[in-house]
Amino acid sequence: MLLTPSSLLIALCLSTVLILFLNFSLKNHLFTLKTLEVLIIIIILTMYFPLEFVFNQSIIAPSIMNPIHNALKADLNNIVSKTSIFLFIYFIGLIYKLIIFIKENIFIQRKFKILVQNSHKHLVSHFLPNSKKNYTVCLSEFVSTPSLIGFNKTIFIPSITFNKQELSNILEHEIAHINHHDIFIKFIINILTIIYWWFYPVYIFQKNSNLVLEIRIDHFVTKDKNKISKMKYAQTLIDVQRKILNNHNKENCIYNTNIIDSNINALKCRIQYLSLIQKHSFMHIVIMILLIVSSTSVHCISLKSFYYPPVKREYFTENNINELNISSRVYGQALNNSLSPTSKEAQWIYVSTEEHIYKRLWNTETGCWEKNWQFVL
């Protein structure tokens, strides 16, 4: 598989469409959780692997690819190419994002150690005797919302009064985050925001994927509960929302999983998804298949630029020799004396004078001559 300007362009266009589709689906509650998960997986794979197969179907698209190729090959004051400038700006942004990423990870580890040292530590079994996982639970006045911090399997609970039902729902939610490795999924998506730091839709995707992760955990925690228990769980979300809004010690961490955040619209979306019946209709299955097939098929397409040779006098190629009003016997001999082009994008351009025939190799994709004029006959 190859990384080309065409493959990157197609991957970005496809990702943008899918991200907007995901955003629209969440706002309007169009699809089941499984469909949203498939959509997220497709977006992640498309952005991590913006490649095209070696054996692909070429599509001539000069109106799209010619301007891109012209921009990349152009020189600035004949000193440095624009490609070099674009790459320089990209890597400056990439290094800056990596520095922030490393600093935040160092801060997370320090923050975790300090919070553990200044917390009242318990085990999950202290609150949930029947829990299969006995993770550490830290009660701290320095966190604003129940959450996990970093890759550590420690649950932090703010020093806020929660009743027994609320605490049970909170712990079940955070335990499910640990068991589903959601911190690692957030890490993978966060790497995308570093690689594509200049691509605004990736930040929309990060926000929406975090919301889908919360919806998935809500569904997992309540899937075996009856309607009344689900209503109590939804009420817990609302009550925790109200309590953390009154707690001004807000936390924002790149590797946090919170049972709730301060976004009212996100809370509404989660509660509405709790009430949806997660059954896969025939239409949902068809949509998932279409998403998978379409995302795979784009790797089989390659957009190509096309340039006509800058020859003022009449010229012809091997493909249209028979269409010219000249002696096919003479030009047929010229073709027999010619070597095959070096690539499928290159073609011999033949120009005739009153007495002789000359040829030169022209690359239709790059818009450049590959050889000097050669005497043929």
CB 280 within 8 A of CB 34: yes
Residue 79 DSSP symbol: T
The percent of residues above 90 in pLDDT, for the chain, comes to 33
Q: Name the token pair of 104.
A: 């935040």
Secondary structure string (H, E, C) spanning 136-168: EEEEECCCCCCEEECCCCEEEEECCCCCHHHHH
- pLDDT of residue 100 exceeding 90: yes
- pLDDT of residue 339 exceeding 60: no
For 191-205, write each residue's pLDDT tens digit: 999 999 999 999 999
For 142-182, write each residue's pLDDT tens digit: 888 888 988 889 999 988 888 888 899 999 999 999 999 99
Q: Which SS3 state, helix, strand or coil, does residue 184 take?
A: helix
In this prediction, residue 340 has a pLDDT band, given cuts at 50, 70 and 90, of: very low
Please state the domain extents for the chain. Answer: 307-375
Quick one: average pLDDT of 262-284? 77
The model's pTM is 0.82
